[in-house]
Amino acid sequence: QSVLTQPPSVSGAPGQRVTISCTGSSSNIGTGYDVHWYQQLPGTAPKLLIYGNNNRPSGVPDRFSGSKSGTSASLAITGLRAEDEADYYCQSYDTSLGSSLYVFGTGTKVTVL
């Protein structure tokens, strides 16, 4: 059972902006641990999209951006494109007793209308 909650799905038309939330708690995001985001295209392995809340690895378009505040974080995709249709996962670190150290969000499916 994931300790980071995301909406199951979001959708938008090409060119639009969509955001995905990632809600945690005081034992993970709220403690100050960074949030990272992964994109999983259909049938492929996850790929690092955002690290350290708002940093993009080389090659990731600047249409993708991240932010964090309190016990939550968000991923924004601007100028939505057909190739952005994928599952997106947030990830952080959790040190509560009995918890997995590396926690993933529940995942969000982005659909391009």
Partner 1 sequence: EVQLVQSGAEVKKPGESLIISCKASGYSFTNYWIGWVRQMPGKGLEWMGIIYPDDSYTRYSPSFQGQVIISVDKSINTAYLKWSSLKASDTATYYCARRQGSGWNWWFDSWGQGTLVTVSS
**Nearest distance in Å: CB 112, partner 1:** 20
State the residues that interact with partner 1 by CB under 8 A. 2, 32-34, 36, 38, 44-48, 51-52, 57, 89, 91, 93, 95, 98-107
Neighbours of 80 (CB within 10 A): 22
Q: Report how far residue 42's alpha carbon sits from residue 28's, in angstroms, rounded to the nearest whole number.
A: 28
Size of the chain in residues: 113
**Nearest distance in Å: CB 9, partner 1:** 13
Of the pair 82, 97, the CB lying nearest partner 1 is at 97
Ramachandran quadrant class, 107 (left: phi over 0; alpha: psi -120 to 50; beta: rest): left
**Nearest distance in Å: CB 109, partner 1:** 11
